[in-house]
Structures are given as C-alpha cells and as structure tokens.
Structure 1
C-alpha cells in the first residue's frame, strides 16, 4: 500500500516558478525564485514538463467532477453546470432533456461495467496519454483560443509603485459559437491541457488523434509550401517583430526576445523556372545587450526612405539604426517602462514612441534629441499613430484615445467610449477616421475630420461588436474602390477575424479558421487579400472581394505561433514576412502560390 501523499510548499513554489517561466512572466519568476530561495531547493534543478501546473489543475477539476457526480441520479446525469477552479459547483439540470436512466460514473474506473448501464460521459473519461508525454482530455484542445505559454506579451498597465509587470494573455472563456472545435485539425498534438476548458465541455467534440505531421487544409499542398516558403534561421529566441525596408526591397529586419535585430538580404526575385527557394546568407546582427531582465523587442519601424530603423524594446531603451546596421542614436527617456510602439512620421522628421510609463515622446530625428514628452495616459500608453505631420493619436490602459499636437501640450480632443484598455489604433487611409480595438471585445471607429481638417464636428461613433474575447489587432484596407466604403479587418483572442464595412458597422464576414488566439493581421498592399496568423501555427490568406479563404500554411507543431506579418509588394515582388515563435523568420513568396494568383 502506498504511503500518505505529501505536498510541500517548496514543491508548489517550484511548480509556480515553472509556470511563470513558461508563460513569459520573467519578472514574477525572478521575484519568486529570490523570495522563495528556490536555488537552495532540492527540487529546483528537476525537470518540470511544460504546462505541468496546468495539467495538475485539470486533473483536480476531473476529480472534483467525479466527487460531485458520483450519485447516479437525474440531477447529476443531466447536470449542465461547468466546473471552475474558483467557483463552487452547483448542479443545474438541463430541463429540455428527458429523465435519464441513472448511472454510476465511477463504475468504468473500477472496471465494473454492467449490462444496461449508461456509458460514462466523455467529460469523465480517463486522461489519455499523448505522443509527447503530456496528458490531454478527450475532445479538449489547447487550441481553443486560450493563450499558451508562448503568448506574445505586453506589460501590465495596472502595475503598482511604477514597477512594470507582465500582462497575462487573456483567458476569458469562449462561447460555443466563437469557435468550431468540431472542425479542428485531427492530427494536432496536445502540448498541455488548457486550464480554462471545463472538463464537461469536451463532450461531443472530435477527439484529437496523435500524428507527427499536421493535416494540410483544403486548398494547400506540401509541394506548394515547400516551393513558396523559406525559413530563415539565425535567431536564438522567439521572433516577435519583422519589417521590410520600404525602399531597399531586399532588406528585411526581424527582432527577437533577446533584444537581437537581424537584417536579412532576401533576393527580390528568382527565375520562374526555379522550384528551389533562393539561398539566403547569414544576416547582419545588431545585438544590444539588455540592461534589464526583459529585452523582448516590441516594434520595428522604417522611415519611408528606408534609411533609418526605430527599435522598441522591453528594456525601455529607444534605439535608432541606419540601414547598414550602425547605431544612429539611443536614449533612455522611457526609463520607467517598456516601449510598446515606434512610429516615424511620413516625412521621417519625427519619431513617436509609446511606453508603459503612460507617456508618448516625439523625437527630432535630425537633431537626435527629444522634442517633447506628453503625459497622455494615467497608467500606460499602448499604441500611437500619426494623423498628420504635426498631429498624432495615442491609446492607453485608461480606455481613452488622445489626439495631440506636437507643438501644443494641451489635448485637442479626447475620445472616450471603450470600457477598458485600448490595445491598438490605426488612422484610416483617408486620414478622416481612427479605428481602435480593446479588451472590452469591441472595435470602434471615430470621426476626426473636425480636428484634422477643421470641419464641423461629428461625434458619432461606430461600434463593431461581435467578438467574444479581446480584440487584439485592427487593419484598414489600403485601397478603396470609387463609391465604396472603406473596409476594416479585426482579429481577436476568440480565434476569429472579421471584415467590416467601416461606415455602416456591418460585419461582412466572420472567419473561424484559427483554433487559438489570432496575433497577426495584414492586408496585401493591393487590397486583394488579407492574412492572419495565430498561436495555433496557421497562416490563413483570405480573398477580400470573395470573402473566402484561399490558402493556408502551417508553421509546425513545435512552438508554432505566428506573431507578426508584414506584406511587401513592388513590381514583380509579392511576399510576406512572418515572425515565428520557432526562432525563425518565414518568407512566403506569394507569386509561387497558384491559389493566390
């Protein structure tokens, strides 16, 4: 007989420490390691599988369900209430169901199946071992839109005492109609059990099968992918950002978690008869040792003439480099927190930066100095965008959008309506409106003609509702046909993307192809297509006019996330750059994909 179970605080601390590191909460991991003196623990050096804490919590939920439903009565047989880690379970039967024959859900565990006995519901089936040694629940998939450890992070705007803290990826439960798990790719591998999936919610979903290679979606093939996609290897950590040089078409910049920027020389074209991707040499490496524990790169932005590259980072240091890789200047004005966004003005004279410290800075590029710092937001400034050469907008954790003039410290206009932090803002191609997206699950379109063009004020706001989780990314369609309304695309942590009429607010089409958070969204410059990339490793390309998916590519099952997409078109060039969680940069030659011609 086994001895009594023993759980020590030291073991729990080690599990939580591993969870923090898996989730990218490096500051929290450091504090726990120091205060808990984990380095002196005999458990500290032990290997803890990725997602171990999550798996143990899921097993605890399964135990709670068995404990609550061991009586074979009508109430437990028809119970529709989900189990939660933080809420007490109260059985609630489904009144639409007929009275069921009583069953004992413990019998299958004891090997005591009896004739006429009701089968054990799928949500109570024993855990099934997966190929990679982790444990999954039948029908439950980590690709349900809940963020995994590899989620691209931003700092917590509610940090106290001015100290930056990581902001966890959103973990709000999804509604049944927000994602179609029945159509999930059957060969995906489960890496960890998602803590937000109730064990009873898995009933009726397709069981995930084990396979080394993911099934390709309809409309794509291995041959097409091998011919069209090149993977650039050089980074040692996750690649978070990438950007094509707008003037020097063969230059591609990419930035990774370790504060390293690579400049790649990617040939502009290859012979039409060649089926072999061009060989791309080693990149030029711009390595700037971080002065903090977190050095994740958050933003890369080129001037229009391609001469300078602005680099934003978690280490709070602004760096501007030349196209040849030389450091043009650097500054620590945002010393209290990460820099989330860098944006050059159209002329390249000014540079905007947004930071956790709640401020936006305008930099004089030719003079290599700070022009003015604006205290735009109470907690955190998350994004900025230029409206004109001397006017910009910022958004923050306070739910506000501020419009500022670089020559005037007072705020010309404040846009209010979001109920929580605003993640991103984009000015429309016509420069008459601003689109914003927020954690409140909406996107909004604001009229700014009165500020930019001194026209009569129009404060009507178009609210785009429908997403069931954080709206993370927005993008304006770059070209609008004469007489038609401007289009806007949004993507969300609910795993969907949507195409909107920006004037009427009508959702023209919802796309539900991703099974996890959607991180990246980009239109092709000619407005024919838009592409999305997600934590599930899939790149999907959609036809804007037909509003249908045309082509997909899978990044692989190991560290699959696609964090950013930059689409380049010029002459015969038509390609996308992808920032990948797998420490690689993907280059998709769209001219090599027949379905996108």
Structure 2
C-alpha cells in the first residue's frame, strides 16, 4: 500500500516558529508573527505544540542528513569524523580531530526552557511555557551521531535494509523535558524495532564501528517534593483549580486568607486559604473550591500578565494579553473594564494611596486611570516602542520603562516626561522603586541592571520637559544573558546598605549592594532561566524560581541555600512567587507551569528556623524580636 504523501503547509511552519518564539521568551516576535500570519484565525491555535518541537524536528533532520550523506559507504564516508551543522555544508573528513566514537557532542542544539508572564519581563519572556538559550551555549542536547543504529531506534525515523527511510506510523514526539541533571529513561526496545540480523547488515553496509557497550539504565526523573529528606511533604499544598499554565499570583495585603491567581486561559481564581494550624505536625486543610472569575476575555490570546491589589485589599487590577484592563473587587465582581490599549497589557500598578492605577502596554503607552471615577485620566505616549513596565515613586510621580531603552519619569498633570533616564543598550524588562521612592532600579536585555537616583527631581515649575539625565546611575554588571527580574530587599540586615536582587536567563540570581554596586553573591543552583524572585517581607530570605522547576530559598545575610522544593518533571516551570508574612501567617504562593498553585507553609520548615517554627516547636521559649536597621522603612505592597 502506498503511503500518504507528506504534506507541509505555510501555516504549520509559521505556527512552529511562533511556538519557538514563545518558548524562547521572544514575546514581541511571537506577537508579530501571530498577527502578520493571522494565526489567531488558524485552527492550529487550538493545538498543543510540545515544548521545543521546532528544535526537536531540526535535530531529527540533522540525523537524517547525516545518514543520507554517509549512505555511499566508501572509505571517506565510513570513516568520516566531521560534525554536522544546521547552517554549514557537510564535508566528510577522516582527519577531523574529534573521534567518531568519542562521547563529546558534535551537534549542538539548545534545549527549550520553561518561562513566566508575570511582571513585564515574564510575559515578555514567557507567555508560553519554555525557553531556549539565545547563544546556544548552555543546555546543549546530546550528539545524535555517536552511535548511529541505537540512536535511530530512539528517533522517529526507522531504517530498512534496502536504504529507504520512512517515518514510524505511531512515533511519539518528545514530551516535556525533565531537569538537566535528571534525564529521562531511554525508550525500551519494541517488537517493531530492527531485529539483530538486519541491524548487523546495516552496520556492515555502512562500515560502522562495532557497537559500544550498552549503557545502564539512568535513574527515573525526580519526584515532586522538598529537596531535603526532613521536611514533611505536607508543608506544600497544591491547588489544582486551573486548566492552563498559571502565570501570576498575589496575596491580598489585608485579607490574609485571600489569594488571587491567574492563568494562560484568562481565568482568575480567588482562593480562601484556611489559616495554618499551630503545631509543627499540624498542616493546613485544603481550601474550598475557588471563586472563579472567567469568560472575561474572548480572545484566543487571553494570557494573564499581571495581578495587583490596591493597598486596602478591596480591588484587584488584572492585566491581559487581550489588551483590556479589568478591575475586580475582592468578592469577585467586575468593578471596571476598558479597552483603551491597542496591545497586550504587561503591567498594572495601583498608587500607594489607591486613587490611581497605571497600566503599561505593547502599544507604547502608559495609561493613568482614576479609580474612583472609573475612567481614563490620561494616556501617555511616552515610548517609541513597547512600554514594558511602570512603577510609582510617590503618589503623584511614576516611572515607565520601554523597549526603546529609556526610562521616563512622569508627573500627574504634566504632558511630557519631567526626566528621561538613558543608558541601557537593549529593552528594559522591569523597573522597581525602593520603598522610600528615592532610587529606581531597572534591568534589561543588555545583561545589566542599573540603579538611578531619583530624589533630586526639581519641582514642576523648574522642570525642563524631556530632560535627559544619565548621571547618578550605578551599573550592575556580571550577568551573561538578559536580566528579567529585579527586586529590593524590604529590610536589609543591620549594618548593611540597601540590597537589590536580580535574576537572569543565564540561570543565576545575584545579590547586590545597591550603594557600592558590589555583587555580594551569585546564586547558581538553577539549571535554566530564573523567572521569579521575591524577598521575605522581613528581608531575611530571598526566594528564586526557575524553568527547571526548582524553588530555592537563601539566607540574605549568610548567602547560604537554606531550603528547596521541586515542582516535578512534567511542565516544571515556576513563573511567579509571592511571599506573605503577617498576623502570624508565613507562607509562599507559587504560580506553576503544571497548571497548579503551590502554597508553602514556611512556619513548618525546620531548615528556615523562622520565629513561627520555633514557636510551633517550643511554645514556651521567648522569641527575640529582630532589631530594625537604621535605614529601614516600611515595605510597600508587592506588585
């Protein structure tokens, strides 16, 4: 029977590239090809494309090309030791320095990485669920040409002894990758694989070297749970209420039991979390079914990018890829919505007094909304390209950062920026003001973070609109890839300057002295891009989450890794972290790629030695209150 002809459409190619852009964190490029190719009208938008599918197919294409190039079986091809490349023609050579049977990789293909759309950077960096390194220098996939026959049996190609290459009818594509240090098991041999005789004939025809000794089975992927053997798994409650990847999460600043989470399918869940019971062996009960805020968005691209509560905890601002601003009450009712923006909304930020709300959009504008009047107050066309993030310096002054590499300082009532901060050499991913509003930190795709002094802005009467200022800036260098997230330590340890943390696609997080610019510590435990970081509200700990599925918690003063938790091998990414510590409740919420929300009861983790844990284990032992540093100020609400 004649096999059906292979059919490839332009839509399929465009959709593979679109998925690759999303996997790689190139949110703007993905948005552009989706609109240029009108992919939103394609039936392919409803299909699930496994992470790294384009890379996987290219890898298999190289395997096919290698066999095709060596099929002649002459002395040159039989002893060829040259590698294969996607972009360079292959020339057989027997004098290549690399041995054919050496275990070193001769084909370098970057594996996909998991990604978040939380703050500006994370929607920009993730909007899907994975990431591939830009420079292809990390996480390279194993070479496919070391032992040809066994490799072919594991691919989606099968070879017959007459030289014909046909795809296996029931071949499965690769699923979600597991952490790099925990590779998956090889597929067991099937009855449909080549038998011993045909495999021997193939070796003889290709003049291949004898088969290497069979490798022992590799260990199974690591199971979900704490990284140590002492923490009870029950300290982590998994909330399975979402049907798509969870991108954002935010605790209510007043109602400590209320947690908001948002996912890729435009659904917001409001969880009523029971208060954790006292006693180290008593664990919180699962929460009731969440209040679901859904069907807000009719767009196929309704990914939620931002959740931000006002300081009173009564209103929740929701940013979405469908370009519509929505504000909901803490009871789940819609307070206000508006389609003013013409592109995805990347950030939403209430002012500290709750009167104003800022939004940042791909359309290059920042909108200022009057919350009480439920109306647009002013739209600032302050960037030539995307406006990627906004933050408040005080109740009437705010900053915006954009893809045009500039930061604009704006004041309510002024039409133009009162100051422009120049210096970054690539898109600005995130900006954050310190608690006192005197300094502004920014991070960029140019691999740097910067700290700007913004307490010297003159009164409105003395302002020269559009004044460009590059002085009073501290450049933090050291990351090897895009810096995606930045955060201030709410209360640095006594005797220390204000501290700043950054995370990057290079797989590391860094702790900085924000006054001297000294890098105090490089945290390099993650194996994939770090998407999220958050300090504990008291400034004692720093937490980081990555596409490799791990949450790590570090001691800010000693820089030691204190505790860790793994999200599991299937869709492991940790996209956002929110740490709550008030009224005797100390817990962490995680937005996970595996369509779940994790809530961690920090008071039950011995390794962290928190006052809550000491009180749970030794109720009669007095707990000394930590002394506040001289420069400490009350921490602002998280966004």
Query: Do Structure 1 and Structure 2 share a fold, with TM-score over 0.5?
Result: yes
1:211 corresponds in structure 2 to 220
The 8 Å contact of residues 517 and 534 in structure 1, kept in 2 or not, is answered as yes
Match of 1:17 among 6, 11, 15: 15
Structure 2 CA distance for partners of 1:390 and 1:207, relative to 1, 3 Å: farther
**2:527 is the alignment partner of 1:515:** yes
Report the RMSD for the aligned CA atoms in angstroms. Answer: 4.2
Relative distance call for 1:471 and 1:35 in structure 2 (3 A) is closer
CA–CA separation in structure 1 for the residues paired with 2:277 and 2:380: 47
- Matches of 2:245 and 2:47, distance apart in 1: 24
Give the structure 2 partner of residue 297 of structure 1.
Answer: 304
Summarize deviations over 1:221-259 as a string: whole Å, max 9, x none.
3x6251210011111111111000000000000111111
Contact 2:118 2:248 in 1 (8 A): no
Distance in 2 separating the partners of 1:349 and 1:254:
24
| Distance across 1 between alignment mates of 2:409 and 2:358 | 13
SS of residue in 1 equivalent to 2:242:
coil
* Structure 2 unaligned spans of 5+: 24-29, 141-178, 188-214, 464-468, 610-639
Query: Against the structure 1 CA distance between its residues 362 and 14, is the aligned structure 2 distance closer, same or farther, given a 3 Å change threshold?
Result: closer
Matches within 5 A, 1:281-292: 281-292=288-299
Q: CA deviation at 1:269?
A: 2.4
Q: Which residue does 2:54 correspond to in 1?
A: 53
Q: 2:105: which partner in 1?
A: 123
Q: Which residue pairs with 1:319 in the alignment?
A: 326
What is residue 189 of structure 1 aligned with on the other side?
184
- What is the match of residue 399 of structure 1? 405
Among 355, 362, 365, the alignment partner of 2:371 is 365
In structure 2, what is the Cα distance between the partners aligned to 1:405 and 1:438? 24
Supply the distance in 2 between the matched residues of 1:8 and 1:269 (Cα, whole angstroms). Answer: 57
Aligned twin of 2:587: 575
Rounded Cα–Cα distance in structure 1 between residues aligned with 2:294 and 2:544:
29
C-alpha contact 2:388 2:400 (8 A) present in aligned 1: yes
Secondary structure at the residue paired with 1:241? strand
Which residue of structure 1 aligns with residue 477 of structure 2? 465
> Which has a greater percent of strand?
1
Aligned residues: 525
What SS class does the counterpart of residue 294 from structure 1 fall into?
Answer: coil
Alpha-carbon offset, residue 374 of structure 1: 0.6
Of 448, 471, 475, the residue aligned with 2:454 is 448
Give the structure 1 partner of residue 361 of structure 2.
355
Q: Is 1:375 paired with 2:381?
A: yes
1:236 corresponding residue in structure 2: 243
Residues 113-143 of structure 1: per-residue CA shift (max 9 Å, x gap): xxxxxx3444259xxxxxxxxxxx9xx884x
Contact residue 262 and residue 285 of structure 1 kept, 8 A: yes
Q: Distance in 2 between matches of 1:92 and 1:463?
A: 48
CA distance in 1, matches of 2:444, 2:186: 29
What is aligned with 2:206? none
1:332 pairs with 331, 339, 343, which one? 339
Distance 1:155 1:463, change over 3 A: closer
Computing the radius of gyration over CA atoms, which structure comes out larger, 1 or 2?
A: 2
Equivalent residue for 1:425?
A: 431
Cα distance change, pair 83–403 in 1 and its aligned pair in 2 (3 A)? farther
Q: Is the 8 A contact 2:185 2:218 kept in 1?
A: no
What is residue 542 of structure 1 aligned with on the other side?
A: 554
CA contact (8 A) 1:187 1:214 kept: no
Report the CA distance between 1:384 and its aligned residue: 0.2
Cα 1:250/1:373, change in 2 over 3 Å: same
Q: Any unmatched runs of 5+ in structure 1? A: 94-98, 106-118, 126-136, 160-164, 179-183, 193-205
